[in-house]
Amino acid sequence: MITVSMLLQVATFEVMCFS
Q: What is the pLDDT of residues 1-19, one digit of tens each?
A: 779 999 999 999 999 999 8
Q: Say how far apart CA 10 and CA 14 lie, in whole Å.
A: 6
Q: Say how far apart CA 9 and CA 17 lie, in whole Å.
A: 12
pLDDT score recorded for residue 1? 72
Would the pTM count as exceeding 0.85? no
Chain Cα centroid distance, residue 13: 5
pLDDT score recorded for residue 9? 96
